[in-house]
Amino acid sequence: MIEIKDLHKSYQIGKNSLHVLKGINFNVKEGELVSIMGSSGSGKSTLLNILGMLDEADSGSYTLDGVPIKNLNEKIAARYRNKFLGFIFQSFNLINYKSALDNVALPLYYQGMKRSERMERSMSYLEKVGLADWASHKPNELSGGQKQRVAIARALASDPKVLLADELTGALDSKTSYEIMDLIQQINDEGKTILVVTHEEDIAQMTKRIVNLKDGVIIDDSPTKQVRAIQHV
Protein backbone atom coordinates (compact mmCIF):
# COMPACT_ATOMS: atom_id res chain seq x y z
CA MET A 1 0.00 0.00 0.00
CA ILE A 2 2.78 2.43 1.00
CA GLU A 3 6.33 2.14 -0.33
CA ILE A 4 9.04 4.57 0.71
CA LYS A 5 12.63 4.48 -0.47
CA ASP A 6 15.51 6.58 0.83
CA LEU A 7 13.39 9.51 1.86
CA HIS A 8 15.20 12.71 2.87
CA LYS A 9 13.82 15.92 4.25
CA SER A 10 15.55 19.05 5.54
CA TYR A 11 14.12 22.24 6.92
CA GLN A 12 15.77 25.50 6.14
CA ILE A 13 15.98 27.69 9.23
CA GLY A 14 17.66 30.92 8.26
CA LYS A 15 21.10 29.98 6.90
CA ASN A 16 21.14 26.63 8.70
CA SER A 17 19.70 23.49 7.28
CA LEU A 18 18.11 20.99 9.67
CA HIS A 19 18.28 17.47 8.31
CA VAL A 20 15.18 15.86 9.81
CA LEU A 21 14.68 12.67 7.76
CA LYS A 22 17.91 10.96 6.77
CA GLY A 23 16.99 8.16 4.43
CA ILE A 24 13.80 6.41 5.45
CA ASN A 25 12.94 3.03 3.89
CA PHE A 26 9.61 1.66 4.84
CA ASN A 27 6.68 -0.33 3.44
CA VAL A 28 3.16 -0.78 4.68
CA LYS A 29 0.87 -3.47 3.35
CA GLU A 30 -2.86 -3.25 3.08
CA GLY A 31 -4.70 -3.83 6.35
CA GLU A 32 -1.73 -3.07 8.60
CA LEU A 33 -1.99 -1.06 11.81
CA VAL A 34 1.40 0.57 12.30
CA SER A 35 2.60 2.91 15.03
CA ILE A 36 5.51 5.28 14.53
CA MET A 37 7.35 6.05 17.74
CA GLY A 38 10.30 8.14 18.73
CA SER A 39 11.31 10.97 20.98
CA SER A 40 10.18 14.49 20.43
CA GLY A 41 11.84 16.03 17.39
CA SER A 42 12.78 12.70 15.87
CA GLY A 43 10.78 13.46 12.73
CA LYS A 44 7.57 11.47 13.25
CA SER A 45 5.20 14.26 12.22
CA THR A 46 7.43 15.21 9.33
CA LEU A 47 7.25 11.69 7.98
CA LEU A 48 3.49 11.50 8.45
CA ASN A 49 3.01 14.87 6.70
CA ILE A 50 4.97 13.62 3.72
CA LEU A 51 2.90 10.44 3.66
CA GLY A 52 -0.18 12.65 3.84
CA MET A 53 0.98 14.80 0.92
CA LEU A 54 0.77 17.83 3.17
CA ASP A 55 4.50 18.24 2.69
CA GLU A 56 7.01 17.09 0.13
CA ALA A 57 10.25 15.17 0.56
CA ASP A 58 13.53 16.52 -0.79
CA SER A 59 14.54 13.21 -2.30
CA GLY A 60 13.55 9.57 -2.33
CA SER A 61 10.45 7.91 -3.71
CA TYR A 62 6.98 7.44 -2.35
CA THR A 63 4.36 5.19 -3.91
CA LEU A 64 0.81 5.03 -2.58
CA ASP A 65 -1.43 2.19 -3.77
CA GLY A 66 0.75 1.87 -6.85
CA VAL A 67 0.61 5.58 -7.66
CA PRO A 68 3.96 7.39 -7.59
CA ILE A 69 3.63 10.52 -5.47
CA LYS A 70 6.00 12.95 -7.10
CA ASN A 71 6.00 16.58 -8.19
CA LEU A 72 2.41 17.02 -7.21
CA ASN A 73 0.82 20.34 -7.84
CA GLU A 74 -1.70 21.64 -5.33
CA LYS A 75 -4.68 20.51 -7.34
CA ILE A 76 -3.59 16.92 -7.73
CA ALA A 77 -2.36 16.74 -4.13
CA ALA A 78 -5.79 17.91 -2.97
CA ARG A 79 -7.51 15.30 -5.12
CA TYR A 80 -5.23 12.49 -3.91
CA ARG A 81 -5.69 13.53 -0.29
CA ASN A 82 -9.41 13.44 -0.75
CA LYS A 83 -9.37 10.09 -2.53
CA PHE A 84 -6.61 8.15 -0.76
CA LEU A 85 -6.22 9.57 2.73
CA GLY A 86 -8.05 10.27 5.95
CA PHE A 87 -6.46 12.48 8.60
CA ILE A 88 -6.89 12.37 12.35
CA PHE A 89 -5.13 15.12 14.33
CA GLN A 90 -4.20 15.56 17.96
CA SER A 91 -6.22 18.79 18.14
CA PHE A 92 -9.16 17.30 16.20
CA ASN A 93 -9.27 20.15 13.64
CA LEU A 94 -13.01 20.21 13.31
CA ILE A 95 -14.69 23.29 11.84
CA ASN A 96 -16.25 24.78 14.91
CA TYR A 97 -19.24 26.49 13.33
CA LYS A 98 -20.39 23.30 11.63
CA SER A 99 -22.38 20.53 13.30
CA ALA A 100 -20.82 17.11 13.80
CA LEU A 101 -22.77 15.81 10.81
CA ASP A 102 -21.66 18.68 8.53
CA ASN A 103 -18.05 18.18 9.58
CA VAL A 104 -18.21 14.54 8.62
CA ALA A 105 -19.88 15.44 5.32
CA LEU A 106 -17.21 17.95 4.27
CA PRO A 107 -14.82 15.54 2.45
CA LEU A 108 -17.83 14.24 0.53
CA TYR A 109 -18.75 17.81 -0.46
CA TYR A 110 -15.30 18.13 -1.99
CA GLN A 111 -15.87 14.86 -3.81
CA GLY A 112 -18.88 16.48 -5.40
CA MET A 113 -21.43 14.19 -3.81
CA LYS A 114 -25.06 15.32 -3.72
CA ARG A 115 -26.24 16.75 -0.43
CA SER A 116 -28.84 14.15 0.46
CA GLU A 117 -26.49 11.27 -0.27
CA ARG A 118 -23.73 13.05 1.61
CA MET A 119 -25.85 13.48 4.70
CA GLU A 120 -27.08 9.92 4.65
CA ARG A 121 -23.59 8.55 4.35
CA SER A 122 -22.17 10.88 7.01
CA MET A 123 -24.92 9.82 9.37
CA SER A 124 -24.01 6.18 8.94
CA TYR A 125 -20.39 6.97 9.87
CA LEU A 126 -21.50 8.94 12.91
CA GLU A 127 -23.52 5.88 13.92
CA LYS A 128 -20.44 3.77 13.46
CA VAL A 129 -18.46 5.92 15.92
CA GLY A 130 -21.43 5.95 18.29
CA LEU A 131 -22.41 9.58 17.93
CA ALA A 132 -25.65 9.40 15.96
CA ASP A 133 -27.45 11.26 18.74
CA TRP A 134 -24.92 14.09 18.61
CA ALA A 135 -25.17 14.75 14.90
CA SER A 136 -26.54 18.27 15.20
CA HIS A 137 -24.14 19.35 17.95
CA LYS A 138 -21.29 21.75 17.34
CA PRO A 139 -17.75 20.67 18.30
CA ASN A 140 -17.69 22.96 21.34
CA GLU A 141 -20.64 21.03 22.76
CA LEU A 142 -18.70 17.76 22.58
CA SER A 143 -16.09 16.21 24.88
CA GLY A 144 -12.54 15.61 23.64
CA GLY A 145 -13.24 11.94 23.03
CA GLN A 146 -16.44 12.75 21.15
CA LYS A 147 -14.61 15.31 19.03
CA GLN A 148 -12.00 12.72 18.12
CA ARG A 149 -14.77 10.30 17.19
CA VAL A 150 -16.27 12.91 14.88
CA ALA A 151 -12.81 13.43 13.37
CA ILE A 152 -12.47 9.67 12.84
CA ALA A 153 -15.89 9.53 11.20
CA ARG A 154 -14.83 12.40 8.94
CA ALA A 155 -11.57 10.62 8.06
CA LEU A 156 -13.55 7.50 7.18
CA ALA A 157 -16.31 9.26 5.27
CA SER A 158 -14.51 9.40 1.94
CA ASP A 159 -13.55 5.71 2.32
CA PRO A 160 -9.80 6.36 1.99
CA LYS A 161 -7.09 3.76 1.42
CA VAL A 162 -5.09 4.85 4.46
CA LEU A 163 -5.85 6.57 7.75
CA LEU A 164 -3.07 8.81 9.09
CA ALA A 165 -3.28 9.77 12.77
CA ASP A 166 -0.84 12.13 14.46
CA GLU A 167 -0.96 11.80 18.27
CA LEU A 168 -4.66 11.11 18.05
CA THR A 169 -4.82 10.40 21.79
CA GLY A 170 -2.43 13.20 22.75
CA ALA A 171 -5.18 15.46 24.08
CA LEU A 172 -7.20 12.75 25.81
CA ASP A 173 -7.06 11.06 29.22
CA SER A 174 -6.04 7.40 29.25
CA LYS A 175 -9.56 5.96 29.55
CA THR A 176 -10.79 8.00 26.59
CA SER A 177 -7.58 7.18 24.72
CA TYR A 178 -8.30 3.46 25.04
CA GLU A 179 -11.86 3.94 23.85
CA ILE A 180 -10.53 5.73 20.79
CA MET A 181 -7.93 3.01 20.23
CA ASP A 182 -10.70 0.43 20.49
CA LEU A 183 -12.49 2.21 17.68
CA ILE A 184 -9.26 2.35 15.66
CA GLN A 185 -8.78 -1.38 16.16
CA GLN A 186 -12.32 -2.09 15.01
CA ILE A 187 -11.78 -0.04 11.88
CA ASN A 188 -8.51 -1.87 11.26
CA ASP A 189 -10.28 -5.19 11.80
CA GLU A 190 -12.52 -4.26 8.91
CA GLY A 191 -9.40 -4.04 6.74
CA LYS A 192 -8.45 -0.38 6.75
CA THR A 193 -4.74 0.45 6.66
CA ILE A 194 -3.85 2.77 9.55
CA LEU A 195 -0.68 4.64 10.57
CA VAL A 196 -0.54 6.09 14.06
CA VAL A 197 2.13 8.46 15.31
CA THR A 198 2.49 8.30 19.07
CA HIS A 199 5.06 8.58 21.80
CA GLU A 200 2.98 6.62 24.28
CA GLU A 201 4.17 3.07 24.69
CA ASP A 202 0.75 1.66 25.71
CA ILE A 203 -0.87 3.14 22.60
CA ALA A 204 1.85 1.70 20.41
CA GLN A 205 1.28 -1.72 21.98
CA MET A 206 -2.28 -1.60 20.69
CA THR A 207 -1.07 -1.54 17.09
CA LYS A 208 0.32 -4.51 15.21
CA ARG A 209 3.72 -3.13 14.30
CA ILE A 210 6.00 -0.53 15.87
CA VAL A 211 8.42 1.59 13.85
CA ASN A 212 11.00 3.42 15.98
CA LEU A 213 12.51 6.64 14.71
CA LYS A 214 15.58 8.30 16.10
CA ASP A 215 17.34 11.33 14.69
CA GLY A 216 15.71 10.86 11.32
CA VAL A 217 16.43 7.18 10.77
CA ILE A 218 14.47 4.04 11.58
CA ILE A 219 16.31 2.25 14.32
CA ASP A 220 13.78 -0.50 14.87
CA ASP A 221 10.82 -1.89 12.91
CA SER A 222 9.15 -4.97 14.38
CA PRO A 223 5.75 -6.54 14.76
CA THR A 224 4.20 -6.56 18.21
CA LYS A 225 1.59 -8.68 19.89
CA GLN A 226 -1.48 -6.49 19.73
CA VAL A 227 -3.08 -5.53 23.03
CA ARG A 228 -6.82 -5.19 22.59
CA ALA A 229 -7.91 -1.80 23.88
CA ILE A 230 -11.31 -3.12 24.90
CA GLN A 231 -9.66 -4.94 27.82
CA HIS A 232 -8.65 -1.61 29.33
CA VAL A 233 -11.88 0.25 28.89
Partner 1 sequence: MFSIERWQEVFETISKNKLRTFLTGVSVASGIFILVILLGVGKGMQNGVEEQFEQDATNRISIYTGVTKVEYKGMNPGRRIQLKNDDYQFIDENFGENLEYQSSVYRIWGSLASYKNNSGNYRIEGVYPDNQFLENASIIQGRFINQNDLKNKEKHIAIGRKVRDDLFKDEDPVGKLVEISNLKFKVVGVYTDPGGEREETRLFLPITTAQSVFGGGNNISYLAFTLPKEDDYEVALKKSNAFVNEVSTNLKAKHTVAPNDDSAISINNSLENAKQFYDLNNIIRLFFWGVGVMTLLAGIVGVSNIMLIIVKERTKEIGIRKAIGAQPMSIVGMVLHESIFVTTISGFFGLIFALFLLEFVGPFIESEFITNPSVDFNVAISTVILLVISGAVAGFFPAWRGARIKPIDALRDE
Ligand X SMILES: Nc1ncnc2c1ncn2[C@@H]1O[C@H](COP(=O)(O)OP(=O)(O)OP(=O)(O)O)[C@@H](O)[C@H]1O
- CB neighbours of residue 116 within 10 Å: 8
Specify the residue, 137 or 232, whose C-beta has the smaller distance to partner 1.
Answer: 137
DSSP string, 85-133: EEEEETT----TTS-HHHHHHHHHHHHT--HHHHHHHHHHHHHHTT-GG
Contact residue for Mg ion among 42, 45, 176, 198 (CB under 5 A): 45
| Interaction partner, residue 93 (partner 1, Mg ion, ligand X, none; CB < 5-8 Å by kind) | partner 1
Fill in the DSSP letter of residue 54: S
* Contacts with ligand X, 174-203, as mask; x by CB under 6 A: -------------------------x----
Q: Is 42 in the site for ligand X (CB under 6 A)?
A: yes
Q: What are phi and psi of 219, to 5 degrees?
A: -100, -20
Distance CA 86, CA 34 (A): 15
| CB of 32 closer than 8 Å to CB of 211 | no
State the nearest-atom distance from the C-beta of 155 to ligand X, in Å: 19
DSSP string, 191-219: T-EEEEE---HHHHTTSSEEEEEETTEEE
Specify the residue, 63 or 93, whose C-beta has the smaller distance to partner 1.
Answer: 93
Specify the residue, 26 or 87, whose C-beta has the smaller distance to partner 1.
Answer: 87
Size of the site for ligand X (CB under 6 A): 13
| CB of 7 closer than 8 Å to CB of 60 | yes
Q: Which stretch binds ligand X (CB under 6 A): 13-21, 105-113, 121-129, 178-186?
A: 13-21
| Interaction partner, residue 207 (partner 1, Mg ion, ligand X, none; CB < 5-8 Å by kind) | none
- In the beta sheet, which residues pair with residue 86? 163
State the nearest-atom distance from the C-beta of 15 to ligand X, in Å: 13
| β 2-13/16-28 pair status | antiparallel
Contact residue for ligand X among 30, 41, 114, 115 (CB under 6 A): 41
Q: Which residues bind partner 1 (CB under 8 A)?
A: 49, 52, 54-55, 74-75, 78-79, 81-83, 87, 89-91, 93-95, 97-98, 102, 106-107, 109-112, 114-115, 154, 158
Interacting residue ranges for ligand X, rule: CB under 6 A:
11, 13, 18, 20, 38, 40-46, 199
